[in-house]
Amino acid sequence: MSRTSPSTGRQGGGGAGGAPANSAAVVKHKIVLLGDQSVGKTSLVTRFMYDTFDQQYQATIGIDFFSKSIPVENHTVRLHVWDTAGQERFRSLIPSYIRNSSGTLVVYDVTSRASFLSTFKWVDEVRAERGEEVVIFLVGNKTDAADRRVVSTEEAQRKAAEYNLGFMEVSAKQGTNVKALFRKMAEALPLSDDNENRGSNGAGGGGGQPVVLGKQRDPFLLTPSRMREGSRNGAHNGNGGAENRQGGGCC
């Protein structure tokens, strides 16, 4: 990790010290956000972590690291979320960010066709590094800008099915479907710790069987007609987990 600033120490629910009460049932997974610059990756993470939105854009430099727990059925998933820079000058670092990850959110801007077309290069890069054992969601952000939309839900859904990806559209600005997205990711991840899944060499194999969307589970699609329901569910779920942030002070 290229950023070494201390955690802000923000805490959510859970047991003593910010840990979930049932620590024996906690599984930990690293997920990485990828996508072109300005698609809203950091805004998506900020909405998920702190339920806020910063109107002022500031590019991520290198990487930021966040952590949050999500209760899922009879266990808790601890997500270690890596927010990456979208600038081309950081592209060579992406393989090191992807390494040892369990899941990836590949984000595009629904008002930018170029960012949508780039997503499949990101997907190819993830699979070149991690093979089929990683869970990947295609995420269309900025649905609040409906009058400027150039990528339809139907087109993105077809591409997600073609590439065997989960799919969801969100609005980091309005908070629509953001909690639902991370919950669906948590539900799609293996029931064993990511370190167990990869074995001692970090290259796959070991204690768990990865969940691959389209094989063990169908890709999840949340269309605009279901967005309001997803937003309500996210609000009902609340933050409900220990939160912290490590990395630089980017937006």
What percentage of the chain has pLDDT greater than the value 70? 61
In whole angstroms, give the CA distance from residue 123 to residue 220: 17
In whole angstroms, give the CA distance from residue 29 to residue 68: 10
- Three-class DSSP category at 214: coil
Decide which of 166 and 229 is more confident: 166
In the structure, what pLDDT confidence band is assigned to residue 187 with cuts at 50, 70 and 90?
very high
In the structure, what pLDDT confidence band is assigned to residue 110 with cuts at 50, 70 and 90?
very high
Q: What is the pLDDT of residues 45-101, one digit of tens each?
A: 999 999 998 876 565 555 678 899 999 988 999 999 998 875 555 566 777 778 889
Q: DSSP assignment, residue 163?
A: T
In whole angstroms, give the CA distance from residue 66 to residue 64: 7
pLDDT for residue 172 is more than 60: yes
Q: What is the pLDDT of residues 197-250, one digit of tens each?
A: 443 333 333 333 333 333 333 444 443 333 333 333 333 334 444 445 444 433
Least confident of 18-22, 32-36, 203-207: 203-207
Q: Given this model, what pLDDT does residue 220 score?
A: 43
Q: CATH assignment of 23-242? A: 3.40.50.300
Least confident of 17-21, 148-152, 171-175, 227-231: 227-231
Q: DSSP assignment, residue 17?
A: G
Q: DSSP assignment, residue 61?
A: -
Q: Average pLDDT of the chain?
A: 73
CB atoms under 10 Å from CB of 189, counted, come to 26
Query: Which sequence spans correspond to the domains of the chain?
Result: 23-242
CB atoms under 10 Å from CB of 251, counted, come to 16
The strand pair at 166-169 and 75-84 is best described as unpaired
